[in-house]
Structure 1
């Protein structure tokens, strides 16, 4: 039986929300094997003096649970 695990992350970017989401997936990929999907949950930003200074994306990444377990 295939089981999928989901973890929630926050990615950040100085440029845009797309890069913020991509950064979250890129960093997760360093420690999570076989990421199969991503869901964007929320987009926010930090504002200073009326200007967006940092974009943030709350994302969930999905990956399979290994079949062989102890």
Structure 2
């Protein structure tokens, strides 16, 4: 039987929500091993001068505890 744990991570990117998600996983993987999946819970964006300036994601990252 595997034991899994879930953490919540917030990340942002000037490029896209996909890039923000990749950054969240990359940052989490620096201190968390055995990452199994990522679930994008929320997406939002900041607007400046009528254009999107920042993409934000709230993700849940699941990893196996050994």
- State if a TM-score over 0.5 links the two structures: yes
C-alpha RMSD of matched pairs (Å) = 0.8
Structure 2 residue runs without a partner (length 5+): none
Structure 1 residue runs without a partner (length 5+): none
Alpha-carbon distance in structure 1 between the residues aligned to 2:16 and 2:60: 18
Does 2:10 correspond to 1:21?
no
- Structure with more strand by fraction: 2
Q: Which has the larger radius of gyration?
A: 1
**Do 2:34 and 2:65's aligned partners in 1 also have CA atoms closer than 8 Å?**
no
TM-score (norm 1): 0.89
Number of residue equivalences: 66
